[in-house]
Structure 1
Amino acid sequence: MTGKQLHLVRHGEVYNPDRVLYGRIPGFVLSDLGHEMASAAADELKASGRLVARLFASPLERAQQSAAPVSAALGLPIETEDRIIEPSNWFEGKVNHGPGAEFKKPRNWHKFWNPFRPSWGEPYRSVATRVRAAMDDAWQSTPEGDIVMVSHQSPIWMAHLDIAGEKLWHNPAKRRCDLSSITSFEKRGDTWVEVGYRVPAAPLYGGSVDVGAV
Structure 2
Amino acid sequence: MHLVRHGEVYNPDHVLYGRLPEFHLSQLGRRMAQAAADELVARERPVAALIASPLVRAQESAAPISSALRLDIRTDPRIIEPSNHFEGKVMEKAVKNPVNWPWLVNPLRPSWGEAYSSIVARMTAAMADAFELPPLSGDDPGDVIMVSHQLPIWVTHLSLAGERLMHDPRQRRCNLSSITSFERGADGTIREVGYTDPAGELQGVAVDVGAV
The residue correspondences of 1:85-164 to structure 2 (distance < 5 A) are 85-97=80-92, 101-143=93-135, 144-164=141-161
Offset at residue 199 of structure 1 (A): 0.2
Distance apart, 1:117 and its partner CA: 0.4
Deviations 1:51-87 (A, max 9, x none): 1110000000000000000000101000001000000
Shift of 1:111: 0.8
Which of 167, 172, 178 in structure 1 is aligned with 2:169? Answer: 172
Matched, 1:43 2:38: yes
The TM-score normalised by the length of structure 1 is 0.94
Matches of 1:196 and 1:207, distance apart in 2: 25
In the alignment, which residue of structure 2 is the partner of 1:61?
56
Match in the other structure for 2:72: 77
Aligned residues: 206
What is aligned with 1:211? Answer: 209
What is the RMSD computed on CA atoms of the aligned residues? 0.8
Specify the code of the residue in structure 2 equivalent to 1:16. N
Task: List, as ranges, runs of 4+ consecutive aligned residues in structure 1 with deviation greater than 6 Å.
Answer: none
In structure 2, how many angstroms separate the alpha carbons of the residues matched to 1:105 and 1:192?
42
String of CA shifts for 1:5-32, please: whole Å, max 9, x gaps: x000000000000000000000100000
Equivalent AA in structure 2 for residue 18 of structure 1:
D
The SS at the match of 1:180 is coil
Q: What 5-or-longer segments of structure 2 have no aligned partner?
A: 136-140
Q: For 1:25, which of 8, 11, 20 is the aligned residue?
A: 20
Q: Which amino acid aligns with 1:134?
A: A
Q: Which amino acid aligns with 2:74?
A: E
TM-score by length of 2: 0.95
| Residue 106 (structure 1) shift | 2.6
The unaligned stretches of length 5 or more in structure 1 are 1-5
SS in structure 2 opposite 1:206?
helix
